[in-house]
Amino acid sequence: MLEKMIFGRYIPGDSFIHRLDARAKLLFVFFFIMVVFIANNWITYGILLVFTFLIIKLSKIRLYFLINGLKPVVFLIIFTFLLHLFFTREGPIILDWKFIKIYEEGLKQGIFISIRFTVLVILTSILTLTTTPISITDALEILLNPLKKWKLPVHELALMMSISLRFIPTLMDETDKIMKAQMARGSDMTTGNMKERMNAIVPLLIPLFVSAFKRAEDLATAMEVRGYRGGEGRTRYRKLEWALRDTLTLLTLVVLAVILVYFRN
Amino acid sequence: MDISLQQVSYAYAKDTPFEKRALYDVDLLIPSGSYQAIIGHTGSGKSTVLQHLNALLKPTEGVICIGGTEVVAGKKNKKLREIRQKVGIVFQFPEHQLFDETVLKDIMFGPMNFGVPEEEARQRAIELVRLLGLPEEVMEKSPFDLSGGQMRRVAIAGVLAMNPEVLVLDEPTAGLDPRGRKEIMDLFYKLHIEKGLTTILVTHSMEDAARYADRIAIMHNGRCVLQGIPKEIFSDEDRLMDYRLELPQSIKFQKKLEEMMNKKLPSLCLTEEALAEELARLLKKEREI
Ligand SMILES: Nc1ncnc2c1ncn2[C@@H]1O[C@H](COP(=O)(O)OP(=O)(O)O)[C@@H](O)[C@H]1O
Ligand SMILES: [Mg+2]
């Protein structure tokens, strides 16, 4: 029932993007978010779209699937589009109907913002779809390591993140099972008014919490008996390895930035 | 209520990269009042079949008939509630579904969802607590304070309380001690006989399948590969081995014995009791000679 949720999931594969170092991908997305803001006219936004399309091709993820993954944020994109459409008052009027006035600049800004949004969501989806959650947390831990100087508990945060990521699918499975068991006992979570639905959620949430706490306890015990005592002096089983292609990938971002600066107004 | 599956196929997470075919063209007819066992290796699709029996899953292809109601891919069904009430499912590890403050309230959850008045639901719950051999004092306790075996019994009572006509059991005794196992299996059999329930049992225990079932179906890699009465199913050891299944203990014993004595017993002994009788008869005959 929940199986159609794909946001934040990993699809195993063997594309160029899959093989990149997780740190490179994280840094890429981070700097890409800044580079996107250089674009300010049709040409530069066009270039962004083409660039994104190339990355999709390189990742070998089906376009249909990515678009499906966009669904949860489509509402947000449409909302910001309309906001710009109606509230930007610059340039010539292109539509004037009763109390609605739409300006050329509004339409333009609306489209630009939507492109910016879409491109960012697609790139971050590709990051999570092509990188195992474990690599992402490892990469984050390494990249944030300098912040330890300021007493930021980097290792603990990364551990918390990897544990939560690890248990998301488990909890989803569990939710699915308990939901089915309660439905088989006549509970109905999909119809009825607000109050009835809220009531129907209790028989789902309580068993879920009980099992989540039990799991947390088991996990803590298992970690302790295997001698876990924090990040001090801990080595890694999986080592991230930075290769030439990772440097080159980051360099394309510099090239993109230069091109965008050249073509922007 | 007859239940039939016709050419049923099912895929989890259809149309995503995680799509997983779990059933291929399954044909299965379960006549009203019969005791059907479904056996097969882990991951062969047994639980997936069970979830179709009350329309928790709908087939991606094929038709399921439950009583007079057809469940077809992609169509909404108005009689869903009726089906869910008549077909009670005891899931694997059903104790995970307990949630209410007290044992009684938890057992009453099912019937009250189907509109049974509170007083009657309470009455049923009290009877079931006794029927399942739980001590009286657990009734007002929180289900989370019980032992694992007791929780299992409460969860089973929660399904029986709906008074289903069809009882679907997914490895109902997995993880219980041998004594509790036998008690619960015997109870299901008693209900099957006394109330005329149609019973569908998924089990890893060949002994249970041989002892209780009228009919056995074998699942293998998402297909229903063999169906028949227990004596037929267990007479072909090589075929069972192909599906990574074993013979029940009593038949294993019988085979070894027949090999040693170089002589066949007149029939296949599905239970230890049948085996013991057969042996007693044999010994008597030898003494007479
Ligand atoms: N919720 C699910 N999502 C995806 N695949 C599943 C799900 N449940 C079961 N499967 C897969 O379907 C197949 C059949 O599973 P199941 O019916 O549970 O087998 P069994 O009960 O015989 O052990 C298995 O390969 C299993 O991995
Ligand atoms: Mg199963």
Question: What is each CA distance from A75 to A62, A72, A78, B5, in whole angstroms?
Answer: 22, 7, 5, 41
Mean pLDDT, rounded, for B193-213 = 95
Q: Separation of B190 CA from ligand 1 center, angstroms?
A: 31
* pLDDT at position A1: 45
**B265 vs A: CB within 8 A:** no
Give the residue among B50, B10, B42, B24 at the shortest CA–CA distance from B200: B50
What is A16-85 written as a DSSP string?
A: HHHHS-HHHHHHHHHHHHHHHTT--SHHHHHHHHHHHHHHHHHHT--HHHHHHHHHHHHHHHHHHHHHHH
Q: Is B103:A179 a contact under the CB 8 Å cutoff?
A: no
- Residue A62 — pLDDT band, cuts 50, 70, 90? confident
Ligand 1 pocket residues where CB is under 6 Å: A 3; B 12-13, 20, 22, 40, 42-48
**A181 vs B: CB within 8 A:** yes
DSSP B204: S
Work out whether the CA dihedral B269, B273, B275, B279 comes out positive or negative.
Answer: negative
- Residue A68 — pLDDT band, cuts 50, 70, 90? confident
Q: Is A69:A6 a contact under the CB 8 Å cutoff?
A: yes
The closest CB to that of A11, out of B12, B17, B89, belongs to B17
* pLDDT at position A43: 93
Give the residue among B219, B218, B217, B152 at the shortest CA–CA distance from B187: B152
Phi then psi dihedrals of residue B3, to 5 deg? -125, 130
Tokens for A144, please give them: 């944030």
3-state SS assignment for residue A119: helix
* pLDDT at position B276: 93
Characterize A150-172 residue by residue with b for buried, 16 or more Cβ atoms within 10 angstroms of its Cβ, and e for exposed: eeeebbeebbeebeebeeeeeee
Check pLDDT > 90 for residue B117: yes
Domain ranges within chain B, ordered by starting residue: 3-247, 248-289
Give the residue among B181, B282, B203, B270 at the shortest CA–CA distance from B233: B270
* pLDDT at position A169: 81
Which of A54-63, A93-102, A114-123, B163-172 ranks highest by mean pLDDT? B163-172
**A147 vs B: CB within 8 A:** no
CA distance B178 to B17: 42
Give the residue among A107, A207, A160, A3 at the shortest CA–CA distance from B17: A3
* pLDDT at position A257: 95
CA distance B73 to A152: 53
Tokens for B33, please give them: 């009042």
A118-122: long-range contacts, CB 8 A cutoff, minimum separation 24? A118/A70, A118/A77, A119/A36, A119/A48, A119/A49, A119/A52, A120/A32, A120/A33, A120/A36, A121/A70, A121/A73, A122/A52, A122/A56, A122/A66, A122/A70
- Residue A104 — pLDDT band, cuts 50, 70, 90? confident
Mean pLDDT, rounded, for B235-244 = 92
Q: Is B112:B121 a contact under the CB 8 Å cutoff?
A: yes
SS (H, E, C) A127-166: HHHHCCHHHHHHHHHHHHHHHHHHCCCHHHHHHHHHHHHH
Q: Residue B283: how many CB atoms within 10 A of its CB?
A: 10
Check pLDDT > 80 for residue B16: no
CA distance A154 to A151: 8
A49-58, A158-167, B184-193, B247-256: lowest mean pLDDT where? A158-167
Q: Is B35:B166 a contact under the CB 8 Å cutoff?
A: no
Check pLDDT > 80 for residue A85: yes
The closest CB to that of B91, out of A174, A181, A188, belongs to A181
Contact map slice: A 210-249 vs B, CB within 8 A? 210-211
Tokens for B26, please give them: 């399954």
* pLDDT at position A197: 80
Tokens for B152, please give them: 């299992």
* pLDDT at position A5: 55
**A178 vs B: CB within 8 A:** yes
Q: Residue A85: how many CB atoms within 10 A of its CB?
A: 19
Closest-CA residue, ligand 1 atom 4, reads: B12
Q: Is A127:A32 a contact under the CB 8 Å cutoff?
A: no
Check pLDDT > 70 for residue A3: no
* pLDDT at position B280: 92
* pLDDT at position B137: 93
- Residue A34 — pLDDT band, cuts 50, 70, 90? very high
CA distance A10 to A133: 7
Mean pLDDT estimate for chain A? 87
Query: Chain A: residue nearest B160 by CA?
Result: A185
pLDDT tens across A149-187, in order? 888 888 888 888 888 878 888 888 899 999 999 999 988
Contacts of A57 (CB under 8 A, 6+ apart): none
CA distance A87 to A69: 29
Check pLDDT > 60 for residue A2: no
Contact residues on chain A for B16, CB-CB shorter than 8 A: 3-4, 6, 65, 68
How is chain A split among helix, strand and coil, in percent rounded to 5?
70, 5, 25
The interface predicted TM-score of the complex, written ipTM, equals 0.90
A18-22, A226-230, B51-55: lowest mean pLDDT where? A226-230
CA distance B259 to B253: 10
Distance, in angstroms, between A13 CA and closest chain B CA? 11
What dotted CATH number matches B3-247? 3.40.50.300
